[in-house]
């Protein structure tokens, strides 16, 4: 574990116990916040050697993948520190992250590597400024688009330098999400998409593919039209996650043809990503 081999890079006391732990304040997913519980970084010490730990971590990631998504991007601007021993994430405080210095160090060493920012949660002006300076694409999640007028997640508000999702691993499947919507939200979804909800997952897939965002990602559960029984993860719930698996018979259908047709109609097979 990194904490054992690089103890000086984490906020630990003399006995090796965490001083503060990671989490986020109350949010869309949990009224008491999300208490992740792992020790926080010592950004001051990481800066002393030019963020070498981060550079090597990303170097290895890019040996395995073409693009790396930075989870909880907002913490690079400011992160939520919760005193160790708290039972919820409510009693934390914001502390400054490394900001642009980390990314400048990464680019000096690795070049302009392709990153995606998970810019979800409590997004403040300092987070938006950092994202804009770096030119890293953010995320547009369609399931978040129908809870406020003219939401930035609605397709007509998207920008090319972005990644659009129907939902992520933290969301319910689109069918499960639709089943729990209140009547007002359902009316907004139906009016915007021209949908009666019969195949709501494909209505969102179509909206994602038609977005101007350079990349579109669709969870396999939505491709298969599955409900809440296939949900991948429930934030703030420690048990019962990451157990869904696709079955061989799920692939024996015409959905690959439907995806291919959508890609052809919307230019997804030919579109070149915009430069960061």
**Separation between Cα atoms, residue 133 and residue 102, nearest integer Å:** 13
Of residues 20, 119, 170, 203, which has the active-site annotation? 170
234 part of a folded domain: yes
172 part of a folded domain: yes
Q: Which domain holds residue 55?
A: 51-79+96-266
7 part of a folded domain: no
Query: Could you list the mean pLDDT of each consecutive 10-residue stretch along the chain, which spans 276 residues?
Result: 85 92 87 91 97 97 97 96 95 96 98 96 92 97 94 97 97 97 95 96 98 97 96 88 90 86 89 55
Nearest 5°: the CA angle 154, 165, 234 is 110
**Separation between Cα atoms, residue 134 and residue 113, nearest integer Å:** 11
Residue 80: its H or E element: strand 78-83
24 part of a folded domain: no
175 part of a folded domain: yes
Question: Running DSSP on this structure, what letter comes out for residue 173?
Answer: P
Q: Give the per-residue pLDDT at 180.
A: 96
Of residues 20, 118, 203, 222, which has the active-site annotation? 118
Whether residue 67 contacts residue 3, with contact meaning beta carbons closer than 8 Å, is answered with no
**Separation between Cα atoms, residue 178 and residue 227, nearest integer Å:** 9
Stated pTM of the model: 0.90
Q: Is 27 helix (H, G, I), strand (E, B) or coil?
A: coil
125 part of a folded domain: yes
**Separation between Cα atoms, residue 98 and residue 9, nearest integer Å:** 13
Q: Give the per-residue pLDDT at 275.
A: 54
46 part of a folded domain: no
User: What's the number of domains the chain is made of?
Assistant: 1
Active-site annotation holds for 118: yes
CATH number (domain holding residue 253):
3.20.20.80
142 part of a folded domain: yes
Active-site annotation holds for 272: no
Active-site annotation holds for 249: no
Q: Label residue 67 exposed, middle or buried (CB < 10 Å: 0-12, 13-18, 19+).
A: middle
Of residues 2, 48, 49, 71, which has the active-site annotation? 71
């Amino acid at each position: 574990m990194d904490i054992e081999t690089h103890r000086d890079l984490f906020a630990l006391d003399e006995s090796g116990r965490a001083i503060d732990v990671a989490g986020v304040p109350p949010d869309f997913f949990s009224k008491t916040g999300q208490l992740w519980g792992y020790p926080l970084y010592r950004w001051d010490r990481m800066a002393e050697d030019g963020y070498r730990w981060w550079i090597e971590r990303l170097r290895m990631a890019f040996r395995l993948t073409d693009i790396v998504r930075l989870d909880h991007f907002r913490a690079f601007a400011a992160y939520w520190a919760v005193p160790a021993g708290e039972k919820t994430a409510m009693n934390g405080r914001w502390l400054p992250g490394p900001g642009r210095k980390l990314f400048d160090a990464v680019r000096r060493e690795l070049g302009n590597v392709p990153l995606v920012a998970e810019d979800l949660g409590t997004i403040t002006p300092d987070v938006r400024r950092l994202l804009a300076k770096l030119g890293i694409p953010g995320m547009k999640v369609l399931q978040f688009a129908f809870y406020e007028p003219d939401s930035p997640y609605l397709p007509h508000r998207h920008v090319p330098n972005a990644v659009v999702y129907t939902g992520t691993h933290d969301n319910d499947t689109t069918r499960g999400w639709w089943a729990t919507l209140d009547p007002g939200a359902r009316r907004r979804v139906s009016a915007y998409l021209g949908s009666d909800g019969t195949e709501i997952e494909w209505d969102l897939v179509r909206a994602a593919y038609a977005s101007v965002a350079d990349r579109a990602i669709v969870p396999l559960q939505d491709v298969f039209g599955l409900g809440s029984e296939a949900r991948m993860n429930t934030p703030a719930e420690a048990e019962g996650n990451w157990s869904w698996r696709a079955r061989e018979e799920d692939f024996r259908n015409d959905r690959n043809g439907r995806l291919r047709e959508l890609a052809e109609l919307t230019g997804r097979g030919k579109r070149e990503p915009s430069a960061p």
